[in-house]
Amino acid sequence: MKLPIRRKYWEMIKNGSKNIEYRDAHITFICEETGRRLRKNIKNVSLISRKSLAIDDPGLFEDERILAMELEE
């Protein structure tokens, strides 16, 4: 995941004085083919093992731990 961050907070994360990151609780999805946007609120977030996923696509994720975000209706 790549997130833009202000330099002040980047420095704090780098030196270990900031260990919690806050972001708005929504995701804006952008269709690669059409550019259409869809905003969905996040209902819940959990951290799961990549091995627990039923997805067999080695290029889909980089990390062994995956953020699972439950979206609101």
| Bigger pLDDT: 19 vs 59 | 19
The answer to whether position 36 is within a domain reads yes
**Cα within 13 Å of Cα(6), Cβ side:** 6
Domain, as residue range, for 67: 24-71
Express as a percent the part of the chain with pLDDT over 90: 73
The answer to whether position 51 is within a domain reads yes
The answer to whether position 50 is within a domain reads yes
Total number of domains constituting the chain: 1
| Bigger pLDDT: 36 vs 57 | 36
The candidate with the shortest Cα–Cα distance to 30, out of 45, 22, 40, 42, is 40
The answer to whether position 18 is within a domain reads no
Distance CA 53, CA 66 (A): 9
The answer to whether position 12 is within a domain reads no
Amino acid at 53: L
The answer to whether position 55 is within a domain reads yes
Distance CA 19, CA 55 (A): 30
